[in-house]
Structures are given as C-alpha cells and as structure tokens.
Amino acid sequence: MPVPKYYEYYVPVLQTIDDGEIHSNSEIKKEVAVLLNLTDEDLLERLPSNTQSVFDNRLGWAKARLKKAGLLISPRKASYQITDEGKRVFHSGVEITDQYLAEHYPAYAEFIRYNRINREPGENQVVQSDLDTPQEVFVHAFETINNQLADDLMSEIMNQSSVFFENLVVDLMKAMGYGEGFVTRATNDNGIDGIMHEDKLGFNLIYIQAKKWNPDKTINRPDIQTFAGAMMGPPRIEKGLFITTAKFSPGAKAFADAQHIILIDGKKLTELMIEHEVGVSTQKTYSVKRIDSDYFG
C-alpha cells in the first residue's frame, strides 16, 4: 500500500503517546507503523534523493507540526510526550488536519506560512497557490524545511546545559569569521560569559552574554543595562553581544541600540546556525540551472 501522507500520521502519533508518558522516537515509529498497517516493504520505500525512508520523513514532518501546534512536546532528545491540549484535541473526535491546526494555533499557521488551502477529494493539506512558479514553490519548500530545522535546533539547544550553550555561541562567532574566543570561568566572570576578538588578527574585544532561557521569556531593559555595566570593566569594552534563546522587549532593543550592544534572539540564533552550518550538516544539495546566454551568444 502507498505510504500515508504526513497529515495522516497526526492521529496515530497522538494515539501512541496518549498515555501521557514520555516515548522514544523508536517506540513511536513501531507503534505508528502497526496502527497504519504498514508492511516491511512500505517501511523500506526511499525518497527520490535516497537520503531517508518515506516513512521516517513523513513521520518526522507530522511530529514537527504537532509540536509546533502545541499538541506534543519533546522533553528530551528523540523523545515525545502529549500535552493537555493534545489530549483534548485527540479525544474531541475532531478531524485533525492542516487546516484545523492553522485555524486554531497561530504558531502553527506562522510556521507553515501557507497561502491558501486547496482541498482535493480525500485530501487535507496545505499547498501553494496555483499561480506560483516552480521557483516560488521551491523557495517556499526550502523555507518550510528550514523552519522545521530551526525548531528542531531550538529543541536540541534547550536540552543542553548552559555551559554547552556558551561554547555554542563562541563556535558560532568563529564560524561567522570572528577571531579567537573563549568562554569565561563559571565563577568571577562579572556577568560576562564569553570574550571574542573582533577579527582574526586580534583587534579589539567583544564581550558576550549568552543566556539559555525559555524561548517564551521576554528579556527587558534592566537585563541589558546590567550587561552594559559589566562592559564598563575594567577593562572597558566598547562592543557587546547579548545572545539568547529567548526574545527581547522593545525597551531592551532601544537601549541596546544606543550602547553598541548587538542583540540576537532565539529566532535569529537558529537562522545564523543554519546559515553558518553550526550544529547542522548538509543532507542534499540541489542546483537550479538556467541557460547560459553567453555560451549561445
């Protein structure tokens, strides 16, 4: 039988974890395969790129979307647990579709950034407008993949220690072309978590404040003021970077702009990690070709 579409995994996934316990990814895979009556041959079907099985790919998308809607969480690496909202929706008997998730959960709607919903007979899935060119569809698909990757990255970061996060920030700065840097000692660092050279020759220093806080937390102006005070030294440092998994209030941004302090929130952090390949690896490269007019000219 054809491997079900990703949205057909929503109910089986929630059914598998409905007991409220934490389930490993392998446990979910086995149970969902049974619930969907998939054969060994079905499970071995590969994507055209041959990088992953169709089953694993679609199950991964289903879990990512249910997570973005808040119906499940990932309390630790490669493990999932249903939320109270997930239980409510699952036992309500409502048909769980992309349209339902987009209409009821703003975070999900923003995640997929759909244009409109086309419903074919027997199908429920968010698709691009018929007016989109193949290039536009490709770009949208690329953005959707990166949105999921960013969400997965944030989950992995939140499962790590604060010390790991501080080292991650230094690694990211190096990947972005800055000079050598290091994480300060856990004690007696005067509120400074890391120090970077502005360039590879060692001109000027940049102080770093790295805070692994709840992504829903908002950092306000007093936190930035405290960091600015630490930059006064000695020695006095003119440039600072406050990087976090949380977000910043307008007041915090306004104060930072006036103090030579760059703010990077959780969203920007994951974007930079993907752009500079920190904590991620390239799975497949696609090259879009066009006619070389100079050759034919």
Reported as a single tens digit per residue, the pLDDT across 49-69 is 777 899 998 999 999 999 999
What pLDDT is recorded for position 2?
81
Q: Which residues of the chain have pLDDT under 70?
A: 1, 113-133, 136, 185-190
What pLDDT is recorded for position 50?
76
Minimal CA–CA distance to 253: which of 267, 265, 238, 263?
Answer: 263
Residues 6+ apart with CB under 8 A from 180: 174, 196, 197, 200, 202
Sole residue written with tokens 């991620």 = 280
d(CA 260, CA 62): 42
Residue 102: CB atoms within 10 A of its CB come to 20
Minimal CA–CA distance to 227: which of 196, 190, 281?
Answer: 190
What pLDDT is recorded for position 190?
58
Residue 278: CB atoms within 10 A of its CB come to 19
Q: What tens digit of pLDDT does each residue of 233-268 get?
A: 778 888 999 999 999 999 999 999 999 899 999 999
DSSP state of 5: P
What pLDDT is recorded for position 245?
97
Structure tokens at 176: 């972005």
What pLDDT is recorded for position 125?
42
Q: Supply the angle between the helices 162-175 and 266-275 in degrees, to the nearest 10.
A: 50
Q: Supply the angle between the helices 250-257 and 221-230 in degrees, to the nearest 10.
A: 30
What pLDDT is recorded for position 136?
67
Query: In Å, what is the CA distance from 41 to each residue of 3, 27, 34, 51?
Result: 10, 19, 13, 17
Q: Supply the angle between the helices 54-68 and 134-158 in degrees, to the nearest 10.
A: 70
The structural domains of the chain, ordered by start, are: 6-127 (1.10.10), 162-275 (3.40.1350.10)
Q: What tens digit of pLDDT does each residue of 3-19 get?
A: 899 999 999 999 999 99
Q: CA dihedral in degrees (184, 188, 193, 197; nearest 10)? A: -50
What pLDDT is recorded for position 215?
92
Q: What is the pTM of this model?
A: 0.72
What pLDDT is recorded for position 186?
59
Average pLDDT, the chain: 87
